[in-house]
Structure 1
Amino acid sequence: MNLTLPIAAGLLAVYIFWGGTYLAMKFAIETMPPFMMAGIRFMTAGAIVYAWQVYRGTPSPTVTHWKNAAIVGGLLLLGGNGGVVWAEQMVSSGIAAIIVATVPLWMALIAWLWQGGSRPNGMVMSGLLIGFMGIILLVKSSGGSDLSGTTTPWVGYAALVAASLSWAIGSIYSRIAKLPEAPLLAIAMQMLTGGFFCLVFGMITGEGGRFDVTAISLQSALALGYLIFFGSIVGFSAFIWLLKAADPTIASTYAYVNPIVAVILGWALAGEQMTLQAALAALIIVISVVMITKGNQQKGKAYAAPQAVVGKNS
């Protein structure tokens, strides 16, 4: 298909806005606890999108819709995005984006092993193998990732892998779950429920006692605003529009563009550094994601999350 100006603009919005969420999350949690910040972000964005859908006359969701949205929202936003935000206390935003790029890897495995899908073809299997090699190489390299100097980045790596797996499970489940036909309404419900879970989890883990509104810096506040408006509302809307206006495989290219954008922004705006070994691991992981995506295109399948994406884990 032809890459029209509107489609190019939509892709650019998804690439830049979602790629920028990793650094924005890093800035936001400088003066806000991670899960409380994520909860505020998603509940605010979800409330805005939900109100917009009600205003447009979108049919009201059923109890079943809410139950399934809560399951998907919990997996995507508490386990997925929440895990990423928490891990960014220990690892750089660029490294976080690179590990999250392995979501198509996990989705390919889960679709095959859990949902009884067809066996991955040669290109997908090669991409899976290369992706695992990249993860192993990245874990062996801690350069530029240990931000505190006292906490091992291995804990952050493990959290990011678990978050990516949670995001993949939630994305796969969203394909078979009964959700509202209006994609933006489903996203709004997932953000509301997932954001609520993040807030509750933050309170349970003691973040409420560490949340001081007066201590929030201007940079953190602006980063939170970016995450709410550009990361959650504009980014999701652009992606949903792309799924309708363009081939879904085109929209799914965010999976291997976002990490590149995140690394560049982290280096340019936050002074994040990366060792040669970590850079090589990053390249290997991105190549594996491209191979898996291309391999699935050959099978007529695109592993783009149809209901929500992080971006973000984003």
Structure 2
Amino acid sequence: MDTRVSVHAPHDVVATTGQPVPARPWLVPLAMLALYVIWGSTYLAIRFALESYPPFLLSGIRFLIAGLGLLTVLVVRGAALPTARQWRNAAVTGVLLLGMGNGLVCFAEGSVSSGIAAVAVASMPLFAAVYSGMYGQWPTRRETLGLAVGFIGVLVLNLGSGLSSSRIGAFALIFAASAWAFGSVWSKRQDMPSGPMNTAAQMTCASVALIIFALSLGERMPAHPTARATMALAYLVVFGSIIAFSAYLYVLKTVRPAVATSYAYVNPPVAVLFGVLLAGETVGPFDLAGMAIILVGVGIITLLRAR
């Protein structure tokens, strides 16, 4: 799961702007390709990084470097720092989305394949639809159908070999999706920093919480990390947390929200494909069936809300 503040996945922001005609139309498909490939590949990158780095410390280091780097760039460019209230709200949201969301995904990938982890996280919009009811936005009858279909998919996925072999990993992934969903719904009604400063603040705050939690568990930096693990960490920082996020911001300003958030459907099969081709992961019939059912349920809810 990556730097996103959205009810569509462990990655970003909700579209609130119009769709002006882009000055360079070729950037749109390029940005969409980046979202599909980069965010889909981050699950495998996490697995490679876990070869040397412990899970929560891995997440903490990733967001500390990316968050402080983005924060520094924004301050140098003259962006205003968040207020005290905005820092507080960013800290709460960051812990929910990045701390619990991404941190638990990293933890789960110690026993669950990267492709199956991506599929499980794809159930996040289903939880978001439920949590929205806490604020009076109860799902419609058709959206309830999407919820029912999606949760059936979660049950089917848990019957497959990918999750059934690790109940702790399965619970961690479901809890990660739930935490990301609640944080997304809650943050939409709070005074948050604006634009990229929101992401920078969330990553910075979440990194502090993750590192403290990791150290309390006894996690430590590896004395001799492998080259592949360190390269995977660098990939997560530069591509997963900075480049892909910038591409997403550009897409949000130039295309319809339904198109911008289409990565929610594309990332799981992309992650499965990367896992099979590059890491020799296997996918069983229940895993494939669960992925298909979850994506149908998410699609029903998202398309209805887009209308």
Q: TM-score, normalised by structure 2?
A: 0.90
* Cross-structure match for 2:190: 177
Aligned length: 286
Q: 2:63 aligns with which of 39, 42, 53?
A: 42
Match of 2:188, SS state, is helix
Cα distance in structure 2, aligned partners of 1:76 and 1:277: 28
**Displacement after TM superposition at 1:145 (Å):** 5.1
Residue 269 (str. 1) matches residue 282 (str. 2): no
Residue 59 (str. 1) matches residue 96 (str. 2): no
* Cross-structure match for 1:108: 129
* Cross-structure match for 1:207: 219
Query: What's the Cα RMSD here?
Result: 1.5
Cα distance in structure 2, aligned partners of 1:59 and 1:105: 35
Structure 1 segment 10-21 matched on structure 2, within 5 A: 10-21=31-42
Any idea what the Cα deviations from partners look like across 1:131-178, whole Å, max 9, x if unmatched?
A: 111111111122x457xxxxx411111110000000001111221121
Residue 247 (str. 1) matches residue 256 (str. 2): yes
Q: Would you say the 8 A contact 1:95–1:263 is kept in 2?
A: yes
**Displacement after TM superposition at 1:126 (Å):** 1.5
Any idea what the Cα deviations from partners look like across 1:20-39, whole Å, max 9, x if unmatched?
A: 11000010011110000110
Any idea what the Cα deviations from partners look like across 1:252-287, whole Å, max 9, x if unmatched?
A: 111111111100000010000011121111111111
Cα distance in structure 2, aligned partners of 1:278 and 1:9: 30
Cα distance in structure 2, aligned partners of 1:98 and 1:192: 27
Cα distance in structure 1, aligned partners of 2:145 and 2:245: 31
Q: 1:162 aligns with which of 156, 175, 178?
A: 175
Match of 2:135, SS state, is coil
Q: Would you say the 8 A contact 1:26–1:88 is kept in 2?
A: yes
Unaligned runs of 5+ in 1: 147-151, 299-314
* Cross-structure match for 2:297: 288
Cα distance in structure 1, aligned partners of 2:223 and 2:295: 38
Any idea what the Cα deviations from partners look like across 1:267-314, whole Å, max 9, x if unmatched?
A: 01000001112111111111111111111112xxxxxxxxxxxxxxxx
Cα distance in structure 1, aligned partners of 2:268 and 2:96: 21
Cα distance in structure 2, aligned partners of 1:123 and 1:220: 44
Q: 1:139 aligns with which of 155, 158, 174?
A: 158
Cα distance in structure 2, aligned partners of 1:116 and 1:65: 24
Cα distance in structure 2, aligned partners of 1:238 and 1:116: 33
Name the amino acid aligned to 1:21: T
Q: Would you say the 8 A contact 2:44–2:271 is kept in 1?
A: yes
Q: Would you say the 8 A contact 1:145–1:274 is kept in 2?
A: no
Q: Percent identity?
A: 39
Q: 1:86 aligns with which of 78, 90, 107?
A: 107
